[in-house]
Amino acid sequence: MRKIVLTSIVFLIIGILLLLIYYVFFPSFYIKGVYLLNPGDNKIFDLPYSSYIFEYKDNITKPLNVTLQSVIVNKYYENNSIFYYFGNSFDGRVIVKNNYTIPVLLGYVIIDNTPFFFFLPVLFYLGIIMIVLGLLILGAFYFLFRKQEDENKK
């Protein structure tokens, strides 16, 4: 009886710890923002990741002038978004320049593409599963124990 309660509490604690690890580390694996580029201005993005994805979307339908200082693996366009996939590179930089005569609103996201980034959602789901299991075990134990107490009172 006592082992069941301890097992469910251990499940709850492990689940909560996994969720805390997820929430502490996950936000640092992407950088996003919006920036207004006046005509002739540029924005320099220093990329802290060794393997990453850089995406930008702007309010005009023409691509901006992008200078890359790292190795490109792939580049493609989709729904007015431009994606740049990069290979291994340390201290990489991306320079986006407005080469038009009108201001451009630039939305961007830089995502870490290392395997650890893809491992973090597993921690989240595993934490949820552990918490649910802990609650189910506690709930089942409570109802079984309560039923035994009711039978003993009769």
pLDDT for res 17: 92
pLDDT for res 150: 63
Just give the CATH number of 2-133: 2.60.40.1780
List of the chain residues with pLDDT < 70:
1, 26-28, 49-50, 70-81, 83-91, 114-118, 147-154
CA distance 96 to 92: 13
Q: Is the pTM of this model over 0.75?
A: no
In the chain, which ranges are continuous DSSP H helix?
2-25, 115-153
Burial class for 118, CB neighbours closer than 10 Å (0-12, 13-18, 19+): exposed
Structure token digits, residue 104:
């451009």
Q: 139: closest CA among 2, 3, 4?
A: 4
* DSSP assignment letter at 36: E
pLDDT for res 60: 81
The full set of domain ranges for the chain reads 2-133
pLDDT for res 116: 67
